[in-house]
Amino acid sequence: MKAAVVGAGSWGTAFARLMADRGHEVTLAGRDPEQARVMAETGRNPRYLKSVSLHGIAPVSIAEAPLAAADVVVLAVPSRAFGEVAAALPGSVPVLSLTKGLDPASGERLSTLVRDRPVAVLSGPNFAEEVSDGLPAAAVIASEDEALAAELQDAINSLVFRVYVNPDVIGVELCAAAKNVIALAAGGVDGVGLGDNAKAALITRGLAEMSRLGEACGARPETFSGLAGMGDLMVTCWSRHGRNRRAGELIARGATPDEAASEIGQVVEGLMTAPVLRDLSRRLEIELPITEGVCEVLSGRSLDELVAGLMGRRPTAE
């Protein structure tokens, strides 16, 4: 398979390595021509996963990428750039989205921005650092095109990266977006030292929020207990690799959202997704109290006030 990976960040780099190790012909396309030049000369990404060899991968700028000749275009770009990149793709080559978020401009799921071509979404507990090191992981591919999902499953699945398929694109994309917002809150719990009991309770109720949102949007309930839901939520909220968890921790300790993102040095999707998700829930007239609280903290409310507000909500059935 000829795969063009667009986006030379951590996950794009790790996924390009994964595909090359499966024997595919892989191009890694970055936005910055200088970054692409250094990757081609050194065989390393100068910004992300610097220890990962790019042997067998062709680094290029997006303008030079052979997108029309690819069998699949893999989009590993930030949510804010996804729509623009998808709209500029030539031909009708299928797209596999790795981006976890919602479109900041419209609030739409990202796969809906891919027009006139088959599209699939890959998600799950897949930290780039561990995938690039060859550690075992599992993921789910969701698509309304069963043949495309099966083809990609066969192309990507290996002894170290197990791939499942799922027809529930809505659920998989909503899980991928919402878990980052819950991870910001989980990081806040870490930042002020509220303990593991509080963090476990927050994550559990966060999963309930995600499920409530999915139900309102027509997703399948079982998706939220699977890899894209519970699996990705757990690793994002607990792992030292989690950017969103780390951002929440820094903000709880006094950093502004911009300062937290700057210290992390990579895109923190939850910071962009939180207000989009809140607005979506209001349009759907469903309650997402943790998401609402995260947005309030990002706007300057103290975390102590948020905790008091969440704990003081009227008791109800689980």
How far is C-alpha 308 from the chain's CA centre?
A: 30
Provide the token pair at 290: 């943790």
User: Catalytic residue among 2, 50, 100, 179, which?
Assistant: 179
**C-alpha distances out from residue 268 to 91, 237, 271, 303, Å:** 31, 13, 6, 19
Residue pair 191/303 in contact (Cβ under 8 Å)? The answer is: yes
The answer to whether 199 is a known catalytic residue is no
Provide the token pair at 37: 């030049």
**C-alpha distances out from residue 318 to 186, 201, 218, 293, 313, Å:** 20, 12, 21, 20, 13
- The beta strand positions in 115-256, using DSSP E, are 119-123, 137-142, 161-166
**C-alpha distances out from residue 22 to 57, 79, 125, 146, 154, Å:** 12, 27, 20, 22, 10
Q: Tell me which residues are annotated as active site.
A: 179
